[in-house]
Amino acid sequence: MEPGIFLDKIEAGSFSPYMGVPCSVFTPLLNYLNKSGRESYACTSEGEAMGLAGGFALAGRLPVVYMQNDGYGNAVNPLSSLQLLYKLPALLLISWRGFPGKKDAAQHMLMGETIEDFLKIFKIPYKVLNEEDGNLDKAISEAKNHCSKNGTPYAFIIKKGYFSKSDEKAEVVKSDLKIRINFLDVLKSFLKSTDVLMGTTGFTGRELYSYLEHPGKFYMTGSMGCLSSVGLGVALENKDKRVFLLDGDGAVLMKMGGLVTVGSYSPENIIHICFDNNTYESTGDQPTLSKGINLAEIAKASGYRETLEIDSPVKFKAVLETIDDTEKPVFILVRIKSGTMEGLPRPEDTPEEMKNKFGDFLKGS
């Protein structure tokens, strides 16, 4: 399906504006949408997107909310206590990651098996889109009739490959100097054998797991935005270890309240490193909302004892040389460009294997 044709048909059914959180399944659609000038709003989480959609619906619009099926979990609360309670319509575009019988990243498998069940539990009617003639037209007609009659959401479930690739590309400058891997190379030389390394979901965690040979590393497969919270629990139980949290701007924005929790309990062993490239890189470089704010200042206001900002491996090296003398928790904002290793692999270990290895490390076995 051509993205432009899809959007034209959606809007002919009176559905707009658009809002949500990216998924790689939607890369052609979102890149086209961002270039087209249509009314759209980037959100930091799916729950926030549902809230925004609720406001548009109150004002008489028929909003469109796009999300990965994993993100449906973030949308559940406003769906149940806002859209369904107040009868506010919306068209949900839900990607189908972890489609049964298809290989995908581990974090998508459970939701891939259950997304239809979740929609049925919430009594949200849905249509799985395919390339059959008239499928989209029929789905839009059913969605509009449902929203008009019942005033509640209708969902389109969309599989990988539904949208044809677009020539429209996100405007991101690639760099061989200021990408994460250069900073990880610096970090590697400053690690102690007792250090804990935890990486957020996406390219950051995958690079950590693939590039840094260290027994105390853990990749957060999924659970986007939860790194600061999980890391806090680990840090509080392992006060004798330095805990490095390798985070990203999109993940920090998704659950920014985690910064306040870390700041409130202030463990003296957390080194929180946020790689900020202003994009959701692993889903196709769609822009995040970090460009208009300063995450280091937010961390400072949240109670972090020290915050630093750097934009080069040289400056990163200087920071790490004195990191043991820096007050903690410390938040280091690293401004980078988009770009990753060629052929970046996913971890060969299963999530359970990663958990067991990490647990053995923490126990010293």
Distance between CA atoms of residues 302 and 5, nearest Å: 45
- What percent of the chain has pLDDT above 70? 96
Considering 105, 125, 158, which residue would you say is the last residue of a domain?
A: 158
**168 within some domain:** no
Summarize pLDDT for 5-23 with one digit per residue, the tens. 999 999 999 999 999 999 9
**11 within some domain:** yes
Q: Is the pTM above the cut of 0.85?
A: yes
| pLDDT(173) > 90 | no
For residue 357, what are its two tokens? 């290895």
Summarize pLDDT for 134-172 with one digit per residue, the tens. 899 999 999 999 999 999 999 999 999 999 975 544 444
Whether residues 143 and 209 fall in one domain: no
Whether residues 151 and 205 fall in one domain: no
What pLDDT, on the 0 to 100 scale, is given for residue 101?
Answer: 86
What are the angstrom distances between the C-alpha of 282 and each of 26, 181, 202, 240?
Answer: 12, 15, 6, 34
Whether residues 235 and 121 fall in one domain: no
| pLDDT(188) > 90 | yes
Reference 263, options 327, 333, 185; nearest CA is 327
In the chain, what's the furthest Cα-to-Cα distance? 65
What pLDDT, on the 0 to 100 scale, is given for residue 167?
Answer: 52
| pLDDT(124) > 60 | yes
Helix (H) or strand (E) holding 353, with range, is helix 351-363
Summarize pLDDT for 247-291 with one digit per residue, the tens. 999 999 999 999 999 999 999 999 999 999 999 998 989 999 999
List phi, psi (to 5°) of 194: -95, -5
- Residue pair 45/74 in contact by the 8 Å Cβ criterion: yes
- Output DSSP code: residue 88: -
Instruction: Write the CATH number for 33.
Output: 3.40.50.970
Q: Which amino acid type is present at position 162?
A: Y
Whether residues 324 and 233 fall in one domain: yes
List phi, psi (to 5°) of 333: -90, 115
Domain count, the chain: 2
Whether residues 13 and 152 fall in one domain: yes
| pLDDT(102) > 90 | no
User: Mean pLDDT throughout 56-61?
Assistant: 98
Domain of 119 in residue numbering reads as 3-158
User: Mean pLDDT throughout 294-315?
Assistant: 97
- What percent of the chain has pLDDT above 90? 84
Whether residues 123 and 253 fall in one domain: no
Summarize pLDDT for 330-354 with one digit per residue, the tens. 999 999 999 988 888 888 889 999 9
**356 within some domain:** yes
**HSE-CB for 5 with a 13 A CA cutoff:** 11
Distance between CA atoms of residues 332 and 326, nearest Å: 11
What pLDDT, on the 0 to 100 scale, is given for residue 170?
Answer: 43
Whether residues 351 and 305 fall in one domain: yes
Whether residues 109 and 248 fall in one domain: no
Summarize pLDDT for 21-32 with one digit per residue, the tens. 999 999 999 999
